[in-house]
């Protein structure tokens, strides 16, 4: 817990909730950030096996950048392995906490756990091999995973950047919670560049092009010139493609799989002692020297973790030379650059649009004021009328309307609040029905605020969220 007092009187917001309410659905923001017994929103109770999320990548990226920040060097092989193992162990702990290596274990769940562990390892090694050497050569890390408040308004008169003083004075202003992923100073020019890591299973032209006009990236640069004394001239997205999760169209009866080259290769099973296993990186690929290659019909998709029991001679040679090398590490090291470049890549450099940033901040300040008024009105109304009453629901429709854009990416990826808005069984009592649970704030200032108000216990800071 932070030694500084919690911001109990400050209205806190963040980029996600603002743009959720503005561009996605006001009702989704209300339910995810303001509804429920704590007033910090609710989230669907997840009974399914946890999958790899951006949190795992950020854990590893933070550890890498801590070494870069404090020692201005890249992590060694042993340090990298320790970081990857630590992040993977965190994931396995979440799996075990939900019982998926106990009463809920099965052959399919074990295979998915192996798959997701390999994916974490692959993504973190891809960062270490593809992005970090480039970053270290050109930039010196100034800040990594640093959280701070940017005050949109103030009632106490404290200096804008003195967060602790605002808290001490009991400021009742509004503050935007910002987490800086990576801030780096160019070694030659001395100018600053901002990097933000993003994972996605749907990377494509539309995904990469959106960042040129999306103001969310620029919001991470607020106050940088005043805090670090330099202007931010470049913005980058560190793209991490974890692959779609879907069934193989040629095997529709099979389970869903993470369609990532980090998780699956193509193996032609051997026939000992006449022929050993032969692993290839893809069905079709281009080598680093530009040659087009294709696997034979005998090569079938197979999980990388099966290399541990394979007699593939290339794998055995590497493993014999370095017994600490895991199959997942070997695999990502052996992938051609033409494949790995699509897994880990940069979008940018992009320029910060200061006119757009100013407009967003003005709109955000006004919008948060409306939310304050709306939430107070709903609070007063709920003192007389319960949540499920028609009176309360009618006012909710007027003040916090649904966009009804519940399935922008299809049923499988629908909004988690569909069962509430469409009044499925249990919608009258989302928490009591067991379908939902109070949301755990993932920004530290908001978490500290909830604990200080007695709405969450101090142990809540040890609980892991499913996404970032």
Domain residue spans of the chain:
11-45+354-462, 54-243+344-350, 263-334
Q: What is the pLDDT of residue 214?
A: 87
Contact in structure between 391 and 385 (CB atoms under 8 Å): yes
Question: What confidence score (pLDDT) does residue 462 get?
Answer: 38
Mean pLDDT per 10-residue interval, the chain, length 468 residues = 71 93 94 92 75 82 95 96 94 78 65 90 95 96 90 93 92 93 93 91 85 87 87 91 78 76 93 88 89 90 93 94 95 94 92 90 95 95 94 96 90 88 94 88 88 72 41
* pLDDT score recorded for residue 224: 86
Model pLDDT, residue 187 = 94
> According to CATH, what is the number of the domain 54-243+344-350?
3.90.320
pTM: 0.86
Q: Residue 313: its pLDDT value, please?
A: 93
Q: Is 446 helix (H, G, I), strand (E, B) or coil?
A: helix
């Amino acid at each position: 817990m932070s030694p500084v007092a919690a911001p109990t009187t400050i209205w806190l917001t963040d980029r996600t909730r603002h743009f959720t309410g503005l561009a996605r659905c006001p009702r989704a923001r209300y339910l995810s950030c303001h509804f429920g017994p704590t007033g910090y929103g609710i989230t669907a109770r997840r009974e399914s096996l946890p999958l790899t999320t951006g949190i795992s990548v950020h854990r590893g990226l933070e550890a890498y950048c801590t070494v870069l920040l404090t020692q201005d060097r890249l992590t060694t092989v042993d340090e990298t392995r320790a970081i990857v193992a630590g992040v993977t162990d965190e994931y396995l702990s979440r799996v075990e906490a939900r019982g998926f290596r106990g009463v809920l274990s099965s052959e399919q769940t074990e295979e998915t756990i192996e798959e997701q562990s390999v994916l974490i390892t692959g993504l973190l090694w891809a960062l270490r091999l593809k992005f970090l050497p480039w970053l270290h050569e050109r930039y010196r890390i100034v800040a990594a995973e640093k959280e701070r408040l940017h005050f949109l308004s103030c009632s106490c008169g404290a200096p804008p950047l003195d967060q602790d003083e605002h808290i001490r004075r009991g400021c009742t202003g509004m503050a935007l919670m910002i987490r800086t992923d990576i801030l780096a100073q160019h070694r030659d020019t001395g100018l600053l560049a901002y990097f933000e890591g993003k994972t996605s299973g749907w990377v494509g032209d539309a995904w990469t092009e959106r960042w040129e006009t999306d103001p969310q990236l620029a919001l991470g640069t607020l106050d940088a010139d005043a805090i670090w004394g330099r202007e931010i001239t470049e913005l980058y997205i560190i793209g991490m493609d974890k692959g779609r999760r879907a069934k193989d169209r040629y095997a529709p009866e099979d389970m869903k799989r993470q369609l990532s080259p980090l998780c699956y290769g193509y193996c032609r099973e051997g026939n000992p002692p006449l022929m050993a296993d032969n692993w290839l990186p893809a069905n079709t690929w281009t080598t680093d020297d530009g040659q087009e290659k294709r696997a034979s019909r005998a090569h079938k998709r197979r999980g990388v973790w099966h290399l541990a029991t394979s007699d593939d001679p290339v794998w055995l040679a590497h493993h014999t030379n370095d017994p600490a090398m895991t199959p997942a590490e070997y695999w990502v090291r052996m992938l051609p650059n033409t494949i790995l470049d699509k897994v880990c890549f940069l979008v940018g450099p992009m320029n910060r649009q200061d006119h757009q940033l100013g407009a967003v901040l003005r709109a955000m300040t006004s919008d948060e004021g409306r939310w304050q008024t709306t939430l107070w009105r709903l609070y007063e109304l709920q003192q007389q009328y319960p949540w499920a009453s028609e009176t309360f629901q009618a006012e909710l429709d007027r003040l916090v309307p649904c966009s009804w854009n519940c399935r922008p990416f299809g049923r499988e990826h629908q909004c988690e609040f569909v069962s509430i808005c469409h009044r499925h069984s249990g919608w009258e009592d989302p928490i009591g029905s067991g379908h939902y649970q109070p949301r755990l704030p993932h920004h530290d200032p908001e978490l500290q605020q909830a604990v200080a108000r007695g709405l969450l216990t101090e142990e809540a800071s040890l609980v892991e969220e499913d996404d970032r």
